[in-house]
Structure 1
Amino acid sequence: YLLCFGLCCLHCVTVCACVPQMTVTEYHVRSSVVSRYAVTTVHSSVWNQLSVTKEAAFEVDLPSAAFISNFTMAKQMNNLGKINQKHSKSGLVIKREIERFRVAVSAPPGARLSFCLTYEELLIRRLGRYELSLGLRAGQPVENLTVEVTVSERTGLSFIRVLPLKTSRLLNGQGDGDPPASTLIEKNKKCARIHYSPSVQQQTSLSTQGINADFIVHYDVELRDIMGDIQVYDGYFVHYFAPRGLPVVPKDVIFVIDISGSMIGTKIKQTKQAMGTILGDLREGDHFNIITFSDRVQTWRKDFISETSAESIVTDTYFLLSSSGTNINAALISAARLVSPLSGSSSRRVPLVIFLTDGEATIGVTAGDTILSNARQALSTASLFGLAFGDDADFLLLKRLALDNRGVARMVYEDADAALQLKGFYDEVASPLLSDIQLTYLDEQAFDVTCSLFPNYFQGSELVVAGRVKPGVKDLKVAMSAVDSKQRVKLENDVSVAGSQESDSLDECVGDLEGMSSFVHRLWAYSTIKELLLAKLNTTDPSLQRLLADKATNLSLRYNFVTPVTSLVVVKPDADETTTQATNHCSSAQQSPSPHSSVV
């Protein structure tokens, strides 16, 4: 059997309840968010008070977009023996929207172990809010369990709220209800501190195995300047661009839906349910069309129709399933034919293609590179958003299609909430405000700048650019060019580099980060690595792939990030350290590489 502690995996809960357990003496989660950049540390201490050796497993759920930056494991034996490091094991398992980090060691009687994991992520603004989600799965009630969150935003917090504990990964009406009992929130204009420390009784009231849930914080920021917020520290800058109050641009949206035989049953029912809701929510002035495909492709209308005709579309006869194959290439070309006439239109409209499939290309053109080339040539200025429904979908192809065609790709998980997942994604792109956005940093003052050209900006989202500033620059000159609902607009602004660094009053809120410069510096590295990995995914040139991988690897090693091109190796320090020393190192959330872990 597997004795779970730290974060007890769901399939181990029954086992954990019926075998003698080691005692989790402490369980602490602390997260510091500075201008959207979150550094989170999970610390768990365990005591094997039993008379036999047990396997101790430390498990942490972390967001799939996060990078691990430190791991510490320490022991205190009281001369009772040694930890069996030969039998230690670790791994990273990808689950729905999360990755599960796990390390296990054999602990002899009397051993006290301390585990500490730190990870970092940039919170993404969706539907007008940022979400920080912290997993609490200690596997048993814990006498000393705390969650500490600090949120600091230079331009001010427009709201912050703690949601009820979320005990399921399924989507629901998030945002309703009160924070969990024993939650304390202190806030001012720019900073908020949240403390959650449930008693053992409060934990057991949720489950005899203790808390098995996510602690979720939602917030948004004030951002009145249409040019956004630009912060410059120690030679690095970050630019948050998210103008509010702009008119929504009408859109022409093409829904391309897989109706091959594999969609039979729940999948097609959930797709129809989502389509019914989506079409009912189309804005006045929006136009749409629907393409369904299996081995053949069927276009519902020769041209787009307005939202007033949407109510009677989703019928059983139109979504009649086929037992044949999946012709992804032909479906994309059909969508492109609808988009093409729009390119010559003088009306200001945004073309979107939402492409959903649960399989791979099996009919017609099946080679991925050929499909990519055909779509790139045909789709013109349309943005393609790929939705991979279930594990059998060719998610890699959809990601590359989206990267090539001004969009993004998402997984739709086979679960009871799939219709809500589909609707939630559509809501993110339902309200385009700007297109062809270019953020420029003039007079060659900036270098090593992340992507600054964006196809669309949607209501409730945010565009983020990071880079480096040349020494001696006093004012960073920033220009913005974009197309709004009527015309192309251009703006310029000067940002005082000295003022950006000196006028802040956030240091008193920061706590875990070594000043504001640390967050901008690491955010730049985080964003640059992400872009290098995406570029590597989207090229077939082996030499370019190697170059991009080398650059991502070098940055990952420099900043001690565990990424797809590096690995985490736990090393024993030269001199023994006590559990107290390791705990202090953990709680300080240092950003420098730990003597207990390294990235290779």
Structure 2
Amino acid sequence: MMLFILVLFIYPFLINGDIDLMKITNHTVHTTIRHRYARTVITTLVNNSDCIPREFPFFIALPEDAMITEFSVYKSGSLIKTRVEDTGLAEEETIIKPNGLKGYYILDLISIDSKGFENYVTVSPNSTVTIQIIYEQLLKKKLDVYDHILNLNFNQSTIKDLQITVNIEDVCDIIFLRVSRRARTNFSSPEYQSINVFGTNKTKTITWKPTIIEQEEMANKNLNAQFIVQYSVDNDYRPNLILYNDEYFLHFFSPSNLEKFRVHTTFVLDGSGSMGIGKIKHVKQAMHNILHEMRPQDYFSIVIFSNDIKVLMMNADDSKIKLEDFLNINYNSKNIILGFEANEYNVQQIDHLLDIVPQGYTNIGDALMASNQIAESVKLRLNFPKDEIKSIVVLICDGTPNYGKFKDDPFFETKKNSPIFGLGYGNEDEKIHFLNKITLSNHGYSKKIDEKLDNDLQIQNFYKEVSTPVLSDIYFKYINKKELKDGLSKKSFDLYFKGSELIISGKLIDSKEEFNCTINAHSKHGPYSGPGFTDFFYISRDNDEFNLLRKLWAYIHITEMLTKHTITQDTKEKNYLKSLIIKYAIENSFLTPFTSLVLSWPDHPNALIQTEKLFKNFINYATLPKWKKVLLYEMKKTIHHRTSIETINSSPLNPKLRATYYALRSHSTIVEKYSITTND
């Protein structure tokens, strides 16, 4: 009896395990950035020093626009690699077929601060497993800088051997480089002896091998930090650059020395109850800083929404700005002013008007319609020439519409071409999807606010990105003696922002036939036809970068088609886009919302065994041959929904068998499946 009580007492510890028994002993990250395209290889060694199998929660936080290309595990002398397949077909192929056993597993993405990849890997007793994941990402230029951020997320405070290496290669000279690390609660100085930088004008290598002391400084209980590489290239030398080989080309367009348009910004601010006092405080502080930094020749309007829609307005008679219910305003009246110069007098009046008390529901749809009407009213009142001023909308919110006439279908498009740029609080999929769709449908884009970092600064930096248009209505036309193949990416753009970059990719019929590009756009001073020359850079077939252009072409096309799939309402078009995304993803090994990483193992001629018969052998698991263990795993997944954990716990199985069952429990990973096939 005492023995039984002792087993009951220690059993939870056998199942959950002491964290010291399962540790990462080595973690290396190696990124190669060629022509602004980053390929990151992460390799993790995990050691289980316990006498029973244990699950390791392998987790990687990825940049939002990164695409996983490979996941592999090396254990028990065998390398297990994945391939990309259509998710629908992969799900069907998990069925046990009469002609043998074919096993597949689908690896899913989850959402976190950016987005994450999580899998549970079963590690055998007293053994080490090597896990590797590879992802790729086209870096975006914002405010003249490319950011490459590597996330470190571990359930332990230190790692014995931790190293990060970043190699940068570019056709242009690298004229600025900054390397820093950041804990989740504060910025840290980049001045550490463990960070080394060396290279030439066009290449840089950064290595970081933090000491245990440095890791302890960054960690609280767990090590949760970021390693950030920021760099700029000399676009003044090559502002209009085309890389090409025998099949593909890649066009980087990043002119400088262009004058900004005047900008009218309508800020649409969430004042609903879900924002809470804390978020409202950050928004108010950010708005204070933004308004005080705006150029006097620019204009602003403010919309605050909860149940009702309130806007800043002024009667032409009294020159006093006040907050009024939008429904009570005749916005077509010549006496009503809804857009204000960002001069010192107007800005100083605003602070007390932004005393927002969070309350009520989230009426985003009506607020955005109001912003559209305000933009038109301001445009008519100011009567500037067409290319003198541009209107944008900046939406800051933390939810989806739950009030107003657009709560059921808020995905309208603005009719007057005012792009919407959104900043959102929260990581819920529904919120993220809404903000993406509403901004992409209206010629803009969105970002999430990381509440663990400086909220005010994130809002201010986002505004700097979207408030500097220098070109509008940009159109690229590619001229070739033989027409270009189908496969040209997006070639027309509504706005080009100072310090950003436009990228176009396409296929060539014959690279030996000369081709060129003409550019048509509008600047503040009239028509614009480009910087005057195009710089061509040929990549030969012998160059190891030859296949890079093919990957970039596929990456850009998949990204654009995912955007179109998000915003289109046409079912036929959605299905067509989905089929193309799957095609390009499989051909180029990209994990997308419609593809999966799957793994197969050889058929076994005697694999067809009845589930009930195999279940009877469960208690003799240790004596089963490998192929039966695999089938057992498939069976276990099938019965998992019928057999509760409580049933297993109350069954007359010994604690060791229960521990085995928990070690075998599916946490969405093929690695567990493989581990039970290699541990005879």
> TM-score, normalization: structure 1?
0.81
Matched, 1:408 2:419: no
Q: Offset at 1:527?
A: 1.0
2:145 to 129, 153, 170: 129
- Taking a change above 3 Å as real, the CA distance of residues 46 and 367 of structure 1, as seen in their structure-2 partners, is closer
Matched, 1:419 2:419: no
What residue number does 2:521 align with?
A: 482
Matched, 1:363 2:403: yes
What residue number does 1:399 align with?
A: 436
SS at match of 1:548: helix
Amino acid at match of 1:327: N
Identity level (%): 26
What residue number does 1:592 align with?
A: none
Quick check: 2:167–2:205 contact (8 Å CA) kept in 1?
Answer: yes
- Separation of aligned partners in 2, 1:386 and 1:364: 20
CA deviation profile, 1:242-280 (whole Å, cap 9, x unmatched): 112212221111112222333341122221111101101
- Taking a change above 3 Å as real, the CA distance of residues 573 and 210 of structure 1, as seen in their structure-2 partners, is farther
**Structure whose CA Rg is larger:** 2
What residue number does 1:9 align with?
A: none
Matched, 1:338 2:374: yes
Q: Offset at 1:366?
A: 2.5
- Separation of aligned partners in 2, 1:527 and 1:555: 11
- Taking a change above 3 Å as real, the CA distance of residues 433 and 275 of structure 1, as seen in their structure-2 partners, is same
Matched, 1:558 2:595: no
Quick check: 1:89–1:105 contact (8 Å CA) kept in 2?
Answer: no
Amino acid at match of 2:342: E
Name the stretch that deviates more: 118-127 or 286-295: 286-295
2:576 to 534, 537, 547: 547
Matched, 1:455 2:457: no
What residue number does 1:64 align with?
A: 64
What residue number does 1:147 align with?
A: 164
Amino acid at match of 2:171: R
Matched, 1:177 2:189: yes
1:118 to 125, 131, 134: 134
Quick check: 1:141–1:209 contact (8 Å CA) kept in 2?
Answer: no
Amino acid at match of 2:435: L
Q: Offset at 1:407?
A: 1.3
2:414 to 355, 371, 376: 376
2:361 to 307, 314, 325: 325
Quick check: 1:478–1:493 contact (8 Å CA) kept in 2?
Answer: no
Unaligned runs of 5+ in 2: 1-14, 79-102, 314-336, 605-625, 627-669, 672-680
What residue number does 2:564 align with?
A: 535
CA deviation profile, 1:135-187 (whole Å, cap 9, x unmatched): 23453544433222110011121111211x2111x6x66xx733433222112
Quick check: 1:536–1:549 contact (8 Å CA) kept in 2?
Answer: yes
- Separation of aligned partners in 1, 2:342 and 2:435: 27
Q: Which has the higher helix share?
A: 2
CA deviation profile, 1:470-508 (whole Å, cap 9, x unmatched): 2244322111111112111124877586x5226x9xx9x
- Taking a change above 3 Å as real, the CA distance of residues 183 and 364 of structure 1, as seen in their structure-2 partners, is closer
Q: Alpha carbon RMSD of aligned pairs, Å?
A: 3.2
Number of equivalenced pairs: 537
SS at match of 1:266: helix
Matched, 1:467 2:502: no
Q: Offset at 1:572?
A: 4.0
Aligned pairs for 1:250-399 within 5 A = 250-301=262-313, 302-308=337-343, 309-321=345-357, 323-341=359-377, 342=379, 345-346=384-385, 348-366=388-406, 368-369=408-409, 371-373=410-412, 375-377=413-415, 380-391=416-427, 394-399=431-436
Aligned pairs for 1:121-270 within 5 A = 121-137=137-153, 139=156, 141-163=158-180, 165-168=181-184, 177-200=189-212, 202-204=214-216, 206-207=218-219, 211-225=223-237, 227-270=239-282
1:436 to 473, 497, 500: 473
Amino acid at match of 1:54: R
- Taking a change above 3 Å as real, the CA distance of residues 111 and 478 of structure 1, as seen in their structure-2 partners, is same
Amino acid at match of 1:350: K
Unaligned runs of 5+ in 1: 1-14, 79-85, 508-513, 577-594
Q: Offset at 1:204?
A: 4.6
Matched, 1:518 2:547: yes
Which structure ranks higher in relative contact order (CA pairs < 8 Å, sequence separation ≥ 6)?
A: 2
Matched, 1:101 2:101: no
Name the stretch that deviates more: 329-338 or 244-253: 329-338
Q: Offset at 1:330?
A: 2.6
- Separation of aligned partners in 2, 1:205 and 1:356: 34
- Separation of aligned partners in 1, 2:498 and 2:304: 28
What residue number does 1:27 align with?
A: 27
Q: Offset at 1:57?
A: 3.1
- Separation of aligned partners in 1, 2:216 and 2:354: 51
Amino acid at match of 1:123: L
Runs of 4+ in 1 over 6 A off after TM superposition: 573-576
Name the stretch that deviates more: 62-71 or 88-97: 88-97
- Separation of aligned partners in 1, 2:302 and 2:494: 23
SS at match of 2:21: coil
- Separation of aligned partners in 2, 1:201 and 1:526: 40
> TM-score, normalization: structure 2?
0.72
Matched, 1:501 2:530: no
- Taking a change above 3 Å as real, the CA distance of residues 229 and 446 of structure 1, as seen in their structure-2 partners, is farther
- Separation of aligned partners in 2, 1:112 and 1:260: 51
- Separation of aligned partners in 2, 1:235 and 1:494: 23
